[in-house]
Structure 1
Amino acid sequence: MTIHPEIAKILATIPAPDGSPLDPAAMRAGEAAQVPPPADRLPLHAVEDRTAATPSGDVPVRIYTPVDSDSYGLLVYMHGGAFFLGSLDTHDHVARSLAKETGFKVISVGYRLAPEAAFPAGLRDSYAVLRWAADNGAELGWDGRSLAVAGDSSGGNFAAALTAMAKDDGWQGITHQVLFYPSLDLDFDVDRYASMRENAEGYGLETAGLAPFNAFYLENGADPADPLVSPIKRGDLSGLPPALIITAEHDPLRDEGELYAKRLAEAGVPVQLHRYAGANHGFVANFSWLPEFYAAFRETAQFLTGNEQP
């Protein structure tokens, strides 16, 4: 189907790229200016800023407690932003909605950003917070059963990579992975996936912008063929946790997410795949005010809990 009309209205107001060099500081400031004040955010039982003391250093986290309860499943969430944008604040609404709909306690990771900290800094921060959450489960009220990872776009890259890191470490703690329109292949050959050409222009994220956007993350010489850089490059996907992969119809990254789902299933991993029609890249973060896209949070809840959401 065509792009959702409400998305189309906003896309029409975005100027075409002019080829100017990217300015991370200016782009981050622009994002920060759009963050709503705390009083206008979805209320939860508790939201707390903490510092997780980890082997990767002190990592800022924001912990979202949906309701007052004796115990919770835990969900460690990594925001998107091409590895150099996004923050605890820009994706606060995503974490709040995940907590509200799933009933899990959500731990949002304020990982280090490129170019100040290129690969693998942010990934190491995220993995360290994941292990910190498990190690501090009693304090966090963890039920000891469900420990999920989730991420959107580049955060989905981290979430997928974390499952592989855990497996290679011999740690079986992750019970679910949730990938929203994940960036899984940082080799941006435009002929690798049909969606790279089908959705190349006019849908917000443009194929021509992928390489320069992700160059900050790779500028220390990281190899896109490394499975920790491009999780889809991992040869053996068996033994990874069950996955929910959500893709967008009008997204250059659509086909890599769907191929990853196919490869997981072929490796014996339980997978749920849902392509959201009429959606573009970033719709969970940018357009969840539309009921048909907010449904992604309820779908996540059903996947994590096994319960049908109202």
Structure 2
Amino acid sequence: MRTTHSRGISAGSPWGTDPLEINEVRIAGYESNIPLRLYRRAGVRSLPVMLYFHGGAFVSGSLDDAEFAARYFAEHLSVLVISVGYSLAPKHPFPAALEDAYRAARWVDGSGRAIGGDGKRLLVAGHCAGGHIANGLAFVARDRGDVGIAAQALFSPMLDPSMTCLADERQVASDITPRQCLASYRAYLPQASQRLHPYAAPLESRRLAGLPPAFIATARNDVLHVEAETYAARLIGAGVPTQVMRYSNATHERIAYDPQALQDAARFFERHLEPRAVTIG
């Protein structure tokens, strides 16, 4: 059962000239209903769809935390952006958030025309735990074969529950600590065996071929930048087209608001989109 309500149309944007239509929908998730927030430029239909997943280290975060990045992509790309309010740990441990993401992708595929999007042209992006979920969805889509993802963008993603590739905490002014990461992984992956599952621990996976092209943004002041860059190297080794960028003035939390990182991701996505949007009116 879905309910929809409108949040109105913005009076304008700081980046573009077109107003945005912003609506909210609730859909059935893995264990409970989850909210989606839809962003698109007014009067544009048949858009590719981007699913965006907020940060919060699996245990916190909301659609409001994704607002800045979701608006940016909706205003700078010809896409319908759908921000996903996935289930949070510890109440909803793995695989709840990932399965929520999969259900959102399947909903887009079935409802694309009604919401003004093209569910066959799907992008995914996320920050922190949201980057983990976006990447996990890429694995699920590849393996189940009923969802196609054209490209993915990961901003300071959490990718290694074993925490074997952390930067030296003494050398970086990180705003997320190894202790916080450990607590978050234990909340989301309470069983030790889950921390080796390829959908939860992509650094452990030996099957990276066939994943969609990836843009990975890392922050110099982030203990997680080493694992993200290690993962990028492994994707490249597996033949996955991958662009990795480290931002010297960014932190783990701030990279999702970094204008240069967002701009670089938008340009990456542009290279993987077909210009098929249709303007009406």
**Fold match (TM-score > 0.5):** yes
1:305 to 261, 265, 270: 270
Q: Deviations over 1:27-74 (max 9, x none)?
A: xxxxxxxxxxx9899584211110124566532111111342132110
Contact kept, 8 Å, 2:30 with 2:96, in 1: the verdict is no
Residues of 2 paired with 1:120 and 1:42: CA distance?
A: 36
Residues of 2 paired with 1:122 and 1:144: CA distance?
A: 20
Answering whether residue 160 of structure 2 is matched by residue 185 of structure 1, we say yes
Contact kept, 8 Å, 1:102 with 1:298, in 2: the verdict is no
Structure 1 unpaired stretches of 5+: 1-37
Contact kept, 8 Å, 1:102 with 1:300, in 2: the verdict is no
Runs of 4+ in 1 over 6 A off after TM superposition: 38-41
Q: Deviations over 1:243-274 (max 9, x none)?
A: 11111111111011111111111111111111
1:152 maps to 127
Residues of 2 paired with 1:183 and 1:171: CA distance?
A: 26
Q: How does 1:135-174 map to 2 (within 5 A)?
A: 135-143=110-118, 146-171=121-146, 173-174=148-149
Residues of 2 paired with 1:224 and 1:251: CA distance?
A: 21
Contact kept, 8 Å, 1:151 with 1:159, in 2: the verdict is yes
Contact kept, 8 Å, 1:101 with 1:297, in 2: the verdict is no
Secondary structure of the 1:89 match is: helix
Q: How does 1:92-241 map to 2 (within 5 A)?
A: 92-143=67-118, 146-171=121-146, 173-188=148-163, 192-193=164-165, 195-197=167-169, 199=171, 202-219=173-190, 223-241=194-212
1:295 to 252, 257, 260: 260
Q: Identity of paired residues, percent?
A: 36
Contact kept, 8 Å, 1:205 with 1:281, in 2: the verdict is yes
Residues of 2 paired with 1:74 and 1:297: CA distance?
A: 17
1:74 to 38, 49, 55: 49
Cα deviation for residue 140 of structure 1 reads 2.3
Secondary structure of the 2:230 match is: helix
Secondary structure of the 1:182 match is: coil
Q: Deviations over 1:64-98 (max 9, x none)?
A: 11342132110001111010110012222221112
Secondary structure of the 1:91 match is: helix
Cα deviation for residue 144 of structure 1 reads 5.7
Tell me the amino acid that sits aligned with residue 195 of structure 1: A
Normalised by the size of structure 2, how large is the TM-score? 0.84
Secondary structure of the 1:297 match is: helix
Normalised by the size of structure 1, how large is the TM-score? 0.77
Q: Deviations over 1:83-120 (max 9, x none)?
A: 01100122222211121122311111111111111111
Structure with the higher fraction of residues in strand conformation: 2
Secondary structure of the 2:246 match is: strand
1:26 maps to none
CA RMSD of aligned residues (A): 2.4
Residues of 1 paired with 2:10 and 2:49: CA distance?
A: 25
Aligned length: 260
Q: 1:123 to 1:172 in 2, by over 3 A?
A: closer
